[in-house]
Structure 1
Amino acid sequence: MAAPKKYPDGLRERAVRLYQETYPRPVIRRPAEQLGVHYEALRNWIRQDEANRGERNDRPTTAETEELRRLRRENAELRTRRRTTSSSTSTGGTRPNASNTWTHRGSTDWPAHSPPSPTTGLAAPSNRARRARLVRPAPGGYRAALSARRHPGLARRRQQGLGHPDRAR
């Protein structure tokens, strides 16, 4: 979630209009002091307004910025969805490569464990593959995985949406 805006949109529009309607153009500090805003904030608002009207080419318009933000959010959702579908395999993070030997996720140079035995159909994972499964972080990230191991009760509360018992929501 984005941080709340320090200045309301009406003040921004009024400040930009005041600057543009004044002729000759004043030093940006003077109208900023009159309106009680920081002069760098006013300068950025003026530059953004000029970009929106097509007078500047050095920064994206507001519409382009919103489109980029939407596309980045969509890409993040697709990456997350792809990650969850690829990690939900029954092999626990290992997969067969082109030569039909099992390798650790992302690696093609060493086998993570021996191929399945012809009698049982199961393969014994090597120490390296076993360690790789042990340290794989949870979806909440590395710190959340550590916390979940150290405090299983808190992890259950977070999954249920209850949060930390000491912190009010």
Structure 2
Amino acid sequence: MTAHRYGMAELGGDYARGAAGLALTALPLILLPMHWIVAIAFGAAALVFLAFLLRTWLRHRSVIEVDGQGVVAHGPLGVRIAWRDLTGFRLRYFSVRRDRQRGWMQLDLRGGGRRLKIESTISGFDEIVSQAHDAALAKALTIDDSSQANLMSLGVIAPQGGLAERWGVRPPADRPASDGPEE
């Protein structure tokens, strides 16, 4: 069994962005008189930043354990998915630039009526993806082209001619593990 967690170094930026956004939206709402329509807009934005901070805190408190039986997320919103119950596997890439650089991946697993999303900022992400992919293959699950291209970019599966060319996948040695194509 391996245990994985999101480190403070990876989440510090999210905490800072969430706190700054909450301060810039909640403080004017509290301290300044404003028209009710403007107050609703500021309140809605403050709620979005508060939700983002809560989501970041939940990731920070979570520990993901993976073994031959399945994957378990320990924490405030714990989830367990046994590999034998796996019904969905998707590996997505999100880019912050048009050139598809400097992004992150997200593994989305479904099974037993539960869903677990794991972001590539967690320690040992490649290992988690590899074990989940093996389980998906054992269950003969259909893996979409986008997920296959992302698996290639991580080096979990070998590049497959036309698919690799179409998605612009380079061998993993040419790029950091979190870079890759997405839909």
TM over 0.5: no
Q: TM-score scaled by structure 1?
A: 0.29
TM-score (norm 2): 0.28
The higher radius of gyration belongs to 1
